[in-house]
Structure 1
Amino acid sequence: MHRHTARSLRATAATACATAVAVIALTGCTSGETAEAAATEEEATVIAPGRPGEDSRRLTPEQVRAEAAERHEAPNEADVKYVAMMIVHHEQALEMTDLAADHAHADPVERLSTRIATAQAPEIEVMRAWLESYEEEHGPAADHGAHGSDHDAHRHDHAEMPGMASPRQLAELADARGAEFDQLFLELMIVHHEGAVTMSAEVIAEGVDITVNELATEIAAQQAAEVGRMEQMSEEI
């Protein structure tokens, strides 16, 4: 992806996510730095920005299920597709952060990978809870490759998800060491984050579910801010 195109995508996402501006200003630069890893469903929470004039909320999987049960408008195709695909998208990010935990050379890259894992592991649990609630009410989301407890497997075509690294790129990352690893990790994660921002902007524009909108807004805000930090880091290490 050309750099000017990437910046244009982030600008588009920022416009679509008006409430995300406040999140970036207030929490974007410190999100995850003091948080402990929360990989289990019992510990998993994400911050959902509130509507204008309202405070942000911290959502647990249980709250997601409760809100899903109370909603009056069924999620549309864009909502379901986004959640099913973003689970897989986040899982690949965790695959890359696992490699960074073993092979990152520069301390800033290792700390960054820890922040990414700390943020995205709980988001996966919240999205799984949302999808399970949807499937309990509407049946398996077959059109989106999500089938009950098996929906977190990697079944989507990478071409469907912007920013996904190819198997060859992941193999190259696994084999890289030292400064080469750091640069390749940042390069792949920048593109990966930009893809998540693009996907989030699309569901904000096309989806109808409030919970999905809040999650997408938070993901877009957080990852757009991290792209800027990674670009600077790539120039400095």
Structure 2
Amino acid sequence: MIRKPKVVTTVAAAALLALSACTNDGDDTTAAEPTTTSTTSVVEETGTDTPGEAGEHSEADVMFAQMMLPHHEQAIEMSDMILAKDGIPQEVTQLAEEIKAAQGPEIEQLTEWLDQWGEPTEPEGGHDGHDMAEMDGMLSDEELQQLSDAEGTDAARLFLEQMIAHHEGAVTMAEDEVADGTYPPAVDLAQTIIDTQQAEIETMRDLLNSL
């Protein structure tokens, strides 16, 4: 009668040890779970932040695209005029070809951005509703007619003079985008326009001096 309690005590102790072991195993598994969840969260956040940042644009970006479009289109119109004439120095026609080659793809890019942003290619009220100061260097219809009527060296000289002023206006507009724009690709394009057209301005001044 005295030994029986000892057996019960031993069995009870063994049961407690087994229960403790099971409890510890469960704790280890539970503790590991938050680490996996935390890692997944970081990856998801990294994956979603980058596209969002790349798509951000501002009113300055929209205005840059809307106003640079007709500016580039007029530069191509002027270049086509001079290329259609006889007696134009080769250096001038080569410059006109280079202007078309550079600004044609830029027109396509500007149009594509506006489409992606859900914006029209013209500002509200159209370009005619804006002060011409907002489109520096744009030629009037009368000035375009003067270029159309000119011939030979006179046409080449007029083209260079008009295109210098036109380029200077584009540089001013591009500088505004570099300062105020928030859409990185548009800011990069603006800087490219500044670099390219400033170099072309110097070339045109040299050509003017040689005529």
TM-score, with structure 1 as normaliser: 0.63
Structure of higher RCO (CA pairs closer than 8 Å, 6+ residues apart): 1
Offset, 1:230: 0.3
For residue 51 of structure 2, what is the aligned residue in structure 1?
70
Q: How far apart in 1 are the matches of 2:120 and 2:81?
A: 33
Residue among 88, 100, 103 paired with 1:117: 100
For residue 230 of structure 1, what is the aligned residue in structure 2?
204
Matches within 5 A, 1:120-199: 120-135=103-118, 140=120, 144-145=123-124, 157-199=131-173
Q: How far apart in 1 are the matches of 2:128 and 2:77?
A: 12
Q: CA 1:92–1:134 in structure 2 vs 1: closer, same or farther (change >3 Å)? A: same
Residue among 81, 86, 100 paired with 1:99: 81
Q: CA 1:189–1:145 in structure 2 vs 1: closer, same or farther (change >3 Å)? A: farther
For residue 221 of structure 1, what is the aligned residue in structure 2?
195
More helix by share: 2
Partner-residue secondary structure (3-state), 1:74: coil
Q: How far apart in 2 are the matches of 1:98 and 1:154?
A: 23
Q: CA 1:155–1:96 in structure 2 vs 1: closer, same or farther (change >3 Å)? A: farther
Q: How far apart in 1 are the matches of 2:91 and 2:121?
A: 39
Q: CA 1:93–1:156 in structure 2 vs 1: closer, same or farther (change >3 Å)? A: farther
Q: How far apart in 2 are the matches of 1:121 and 1:155?
A: 25
Q: How far apart in 2 are the matches of 1:175 and 1:101?
A: 13
Q: How far apart in 1 are the matches of 2:142 and 2:157?
A: 16
Q: How far apart in 1 are the matches of 2:158 and 2:67?
A: 24
Q: How far apart in 2 are the matches of 1:197 and 1:125?
A: 19
Q: How far apart in 1 are the matches of 2:124 and 2:65?
A: 11
Q: Deviations over 1:100-155 (max 9, x none)?
A: 111261111111100000110011001111110011xxx5477x249xxxx8x877
Q: Which blocks of at least 5 consecutive residues in structure 1 are unaligned?
A: 1-68
Residue pair 1:85, 1:156 contacting (<8 A) in 2 also:
no
For residue 202 of structure 1, what is the aligned residue in structure 2?
176
Residue pair 2:111, 2:121 contacting (<8 A) in 1 also:
no
Q: CA 1:198–1:128 in structure 2 vs 1: closer, same or farther (change >3 Å)? A: same
Q: CA RMSD in A?
A: 2.2
Q: CA 1:141–1:227 in structure 2 vs 1: closer, same or farther (change >3 Å)? A: closer
Residue pair 2:114, 2:120 contacting (<8 A) in 1 also:
no
Q: CA 1:192–1:141 in structure 2 vs 1: closer, same or farther (change >3 Å)? A: closer
The structure number with the bigger radius of gyration is: 2
Structure 1 vs Structure 2: percent identity of aligned residues? 39
Q: CA 1:90–1:71 in structure 2 vs 1: closer, same or farther (change >3 Å)? A: farther
Letter in 2 for 1:204: V
